[in-house]
A and B are shown apart, each in its own frame.
Chain A
Amino acid sequence: MELKGLVKSNEFLTSQRDVFQLRIELNREFEFKPGQFINVYCPNKVLPRPISIADKEGNIITLLVRIVGEGTDFLSKTKIGDRVKVIGPLGKGFNTSHGMDKKVAIIGGGIGVAPLLGLRKANFKDAKYYLGFNSEGILVEEFKKVYPTTITYLTEDTTVLEAFEESLKTEVYNFVYACGPEGMLKKLQDILQKNKIPGELSVEKKMACGVGGCLICTCETTKGKKRVCKEGPVFDSQEVLFSE
C-alpha cells in the first residue's frame, strides 16, 4: 500500500548522532504486526529503504534507525512537516500467538531491538527483555527515556546472550523472539536448540524491491532459499542457516 507520510518528530538517541527515532504520520490507517517493515523513499536514491516499524499509535509510526548510508543519513535529516513516501507494511511479522499465555524472552542486539519494541504491547503472560547495545552505540539512558522501563538493559552485545543463558538455570521460557546481528542470532539458535526452546528470529538482508519480486534478499534456510522480504523477515528460530 502506497502511503503519504508527514514527519512528526525526528530525534537522535545517541551522542554520536548515528541512531535516531523518526515518527511519521501516515495518511491512512493500516494493520501492523511487530516485525514488519516499510519501504521509505529517499530523494536521489534509486531504491527505497526497508526499515522496521518499531511502534504504531493510530496513524503514527515510529522508526528506530541507525545511519548506515546515504538513504538513512537523508532520513536522519528530515524535519517536522517534511513529506515522505512510504510503502507498507511489508513482510511477515512475529506471530505473537506463539507466546500467548506463556513466558517469553525477547532478545535484541544493537539496532535489531527496533522490530522487537512493538512486542511490548503483546499480551504475553510474562515477558522478559534482553536488549543489548554496543556501549558506543545507543546510549542506554537516552533510550530508557523514550522506551518503557520494564526492559532489562545491557550494554554489551555479547552479554545479552550470556545473561539469557545464565537465566535459563533458574527460569523457564516457553518461547523466544529475537533480532540482532547475524553472529548473535547464530549463537542464540544454538542456545535455543540445546535448551529445546522454540522461537522466532527476524533477520536482515540487503533488499531491492521489498515485495518479493527481485530475489535479491534471499537467505539460506532448511527449506532452500527464501526471500527475507516476503517469507521473512521473521522466521522460525531453527529455519535460517547462518553462514558465520
Chain B
Amino acid sequence: MNKLHTEVFGITLKNPITVGSGTYGFGENYKEFYSPTELGAITVKGMTMLPREGNSGTRGAETPGGMLNCVGLQNPGIDVFIKDYLPKLKNEGNIVFANIAGKDIEEFVEMAIKLENSQVDLIELNLSCPNVKEGGIAFGTSGEMVGLITRKVKEVTGKPVVVKLTPNVTDIVSIAVAAEQNGADGLTLINTLLGMAIDVDTGNPILGNVFGGLSGPAIKPVALKMVYQVYKHVKIPIIGMGGIVNERDALEFFMAGASMIGVGTGNFIDPMCPLKIKEGLERYLDIKGIGKITEIVGLAHRGGLTDGK
C-alpha cells in the first residue's frame, strides 16, 4: 500500500511532494539524478506571457541558513512552455502544476485561457514574486486584488487554481481568506521573504537588484507559522513550503496543516532532496504505524499523535 497516496485539488497523486516554482525549471534539470515522475507533481518555473530575460547583475547570495535570489522570472514565455515543454512532461507521465505571473489582471486571465486548453493539471497564480517590477508582490499584498484575480481566473478555467501568497504582509490570514472566498481551490504558502546582503569589502549591495527573496532553512519557522495560522481559517488545501530540506521539516508542515509540501532551495542544496524526503516520510509512517500521510495533516491543531503512535 502506498502510504503517501494523496487526493487533493481533485487530482490523484502518488505522493504529496512537489517543488517550489523556479527551483526546478521545466523538469529537465534533475533528470540525471532521478526521474521527475517520482514526484507527486512538478511545479514549473513561473511563466509570463512573453519571454523574460530576468534581472542582470549578481542574482544570488548565500546568507546564514539560507540564500537570497533576484532572478526575476527568467522564462521562455507561456507559449513556448505549452508547445515545447508541456507535451514532453505529460508524455513522461508527470502531473504538472503551472505557475503563472501576469503583469496585470488581463494577462492572468489570458494565460489561464491558454492553459485551460492544455494538459496542465493545475494553475498556480504567482501573486508574490518579489523580484519583478510589475505585478508580483504588489498583487499579493492586497486581499482585494488577490480576490479579484482569483475570481477572474476561475471564471475562465475549470482547472484547479491555487494561489501562491507572499509572507511580506501584515496579515496573511485575511489575504488567504480573500483567495478562498473568491474561488481558489488551494493556497501555496509561502513565497520568499524580502531581504538583502552587503559585500563589506566593497560596501555595495551584493544583489544586482539590491533586494531579493530569502529562502532556505532560515525561513522555515516563518513559513510554518503562516501555514499553521492560515489552516485554522480556511477549508481549502494548502501546499506548504519554505525551508523544507528533510523529512522532519516536511512532517512539521503536514502537521501544521499542509496537504502537500514543496521543496525549493532544498533542490539547490541537494538535487536528491525531494526523493530523500519521500523515503524519509515512508520510513516515519512505518515507524509510527500510521497508515496514510493524510492522517497527520493538521495534527498539531488536534492535540498531536495519540497513544501508541
Contacts and interface: CB of A to CB of B under 8 A. Distances in A.
Interface in A198-244: 206-209, 211-218, 220, 224-225, 230
A1 B272 CA distance: 10
Nearest to B267: A213
B62 A46 contact: yes
A208 B69 contact: yes
A47 B67 contact: yes
B265 A46 contact: yes
B29 interface: yes
Contact of B54 (A46, A207, A212, A215): A215
Contacts of B69: 208, 214, 216
A215 B268 contact: no
A222 to B, nearest CB: 13
A242 to B, nearest CB: 13
Contacts of A220: 56
Contacts of B61: 206
A225 B56 CA distance: 9
Instruction: Provide the main secondary structure of the chain B interface.
Output: loop
Contacts of B268: 47, 208-209, 213-214
Contacts, number: 80
A224 B271 CA distance: 26
A2 interface: yes
A223 B32 CA distance: 25
A230 B29 contact: yes
A208 B74 CA distance: 16
A212 B27 CA distance: 11
Contact of A218 (B67, B74, B272): B74
A187 B32 CA distance: 36
A209 B69 CA distance: 12
Instruction: Provide the main secondary structure of the chain A interface.
Output: loop
A214 B74 contact: no
Nearest to B57: A243
B29 A47 contact: no
A225 B269 contact: no
A211 B54 contact: no
Contacts of B71: 214-216
Nearest to A230: B29
A212 B32 CA distance: 11
B25 interface: yes
B119 interface: no
A101 to B, nearest CB: 32
B272 A2 contact: yes
B204 to A, nearest CB: 14
A108 interface: no
A46 B74 contact: no
Contact of A206 (B22, B30, B58, B65): B58
A87 interface: yes
Query: Which among A2, A206, A207, A214 has the highest number of chain B CB atoms within 10 Å?
Result: A214
A213 B60 contact: no
B53 interface: yes
Query: Which among B25, B28, B63 has the highest number of chain A CB atoms within 10 Å?
Result: B25
B29 A213 contact: yes
Given A212-B29, A213-B29, A215-B59, A46 B65 contact: yes
A125 interface: no
B24 interface: yes
A46 B67 contact: yes
B217 interface: yes
A213 B27 CA distance: 9
A66 B60 CA distance: 21
Nearest to B28: A212
B23 interface: yes
A228 B267 CA distance: 18
B271 A214 contact: no
B216 interface: yes
B29 to A, nearest CB: 4
Nearest to B216: A46
A71 B69 CA distance: 19
A217 B268 CA distance: 12
Interface of A: 1-2, 45-48, 87, 206-209, 211-218, 220, 224-225, 230
Can you list the 10 inter-chain pairs with the closest CB atoms, starting with the nearest? Answer: A216-B60, A209-B268, A212-B29, A213-B29, A208-B268, A215-B71, A216-B59, A208-B60, A214-B268, A215-B74
11 contacts: A1-B32, A1-B33, A2-B33, A87-B270, A87-B271, A206-B58, A208-B60, A212-B29, A215-B71, A217-B60, A220-B56
Given A1-B33, A208-B60, A213-B271, 16 more contacts: A2-B33, A207-B60, A208-B67, A209-B29, A209-B268, A211-B29, A211-B32, A211-B33, A212-B25, A213-B29, A213-B267, A215-B22, A215-B54, A217-B59, A218-B59, A224-B53
